Amino acid sequence: MLMQCTIFSVTVAFWLSIMWGGWPFRAVIRNPVASGIVQLAASYAVAWGLFRLLFNYDFMKDAPVYVASLDPHGIFNAWGVLVFVVTGLAVMFALLHFDLWPLTKSPSLMKQPVLGIVWTAIALGLAAVVYGIGVNLAKMDVMSFLVAVPIPFIFGTIITLNMLEGTLFKSRRQPVKGLFSAISAALIGTGLAWLFSALAGL
């Protein structure tokens, strides 16, 4: 439960920092350190509220580690919620490969809070499609889906966009650049996941 809370809190922090660009904290609080601290506190508050609303651990009732008083008794299966949200985070990163194309074609969409609303809707909508295909249609276990699809893509994205600073296909134009970059991130992340799996026994 603690691990799930931590992952969920980090995901919400990414959401507020990247999709929403620190809005409304940066707009209201001019000092960047102060706005960052308030935003971090807000991330935990939002994560706690959503955790209480959405996460349900009834599936663990027969386990010796289950404590009913700690279970928020939310709407959905806890693992399902977490995997869906992390998949949404992966979609968020996918749009970064495209430098937010085609949203950049409309200046009105690139202003907060409009960008945050539209980007969140896209992330949740595409996450529902990807999650539905993997878990509902392909019948993958949610944990197997988590470690095979969104997490490798996220880590592959960190390598291609952060460590390599998006230089792999910088001469290409969007959307070709984004497509090649996203495919590279998926391949790199999946390769590293396979390597980790192969070495895990050691």
User: What is the model's pLDDT at position 64?
Assistant: 87
H or E segment and range at residue 201 = none
User: 21: which 2 tokens?
Assistant: 């660009």
Instruction: Give the mean pLDDT of 60-82.
Output: 91
Instruction: Give the mean pLDDT of 190-198.
Output: 94
**Structure confidence by residue, pLDDT tens digits, 7-40:** 889 999 999 999 999 999 999 999 999 999 999 9
For residues 1 and 70, is the Cβ–Cβ distance under 8 A? yes
Q: Which domain holds residue 112?
A: 2-199
Residue 2 has pLDDT above 80, yes or no: no
* Total number of domains in the chain: 1
Q: Is the peptide bond before 175 cis (omega within 30 degrees of 0)?
A: yes
For the chain, give the mean pLDDT.
94
